[in-house]
Chains A and B, each alone.
Chain A
């Protein structure tokens, strides 16, 4: 029996095998993939490529690491409690009856 073309729905309703994509396409989708902005089919195609490719996973791993470090930089943007108190005080002047916490 011939195997179906990649991406072709199976007659029995089983999930089709992801279409094969090359490194250029995989890298093109790198940020969208890491941000989970691709549809399910394209996500699967990239996952399948990464499972089979020797070169691309290191680029994706580096990119993921970069994103984690950017997210971690949130700590450097934290604001002191003084700002919350200032905002609440300004709201109180507007009639806000909530309590600062």
Chain B
């Protein structure tokens, strides 16, 4: 016969298996939100305490990581009293961002920087660039590119439309791309030929790619 203590043990074993295993991902997410080690640790602890207290609301079979990411996000927003703060940057056209990314790559090719990712250890540069992103962008990159959430899942966690996730993600990636090119230039790998003064348009990309 199951006792109350047995039930608690079973519940806690399930919590440990399903929820506590999310700690590395939640820690990354918390750091992306706070950009501050001690504050991130506090947020992680608060997130797990809230999850434990509300574990009865978690349904077996649900995505525990997504549930935890949402709790973490809400805890952060509540702590910072940032209930609603959609920025004008959410108006970014994701299609334009894709073209700009390809255009920037083409310009980098012309400068001889196209293979920088193969020639340099850019890990530290990526890490630094990520930390330099505005919060909305950084959080979206962590959710999608590090934690592997789909656009729809990230939208649930962030409480925004899927289109906003695409806008933030594509802009963030282009900003990271720009940061990496800067890193390459700082590393002295810029070719002798000066870059084109004119930005590369989507039209020229289309023309030259064919």
Contact = CB atoms under 8 A, between A and B. Distances in A.
Interface residues of A, number: 47
B12 A96 contact: yes
A22 B206 contact: yes
B101 A63 contact: yes
A51 B17 CA distance: 44
A71 interface: yes
Interface residues of B, number: 59
Contact of B176 (A32, A66, A87, A98): A66
Interface of A: 22-24, 27-32, 35, 37, 53-56, 58-59, 62-63, 65-67, 69-79, 83-84, 86-88, 90-91, 94-99, 101
Interface of B: 8-9, 12-13, 15-16, 20, 23-24, 27-28, 31-32, 41, 44-45, 48-49, 52-53, 94-95, 97-99, 101-102, 105-106, 109, 114, 117-118, 122-124, 126-127, 130, 141-142, 144-146, 150-151, 166, 169-170, 173, 176-177, 180, 202, 205-206, 208-210
Sorted nearest first, the 8 A-B pairs with minimum C-beta distance are A55-B209, A79-B27, A77-B28, A98-B16, A76-B127, A59-B102, A23-B209, A98-B12
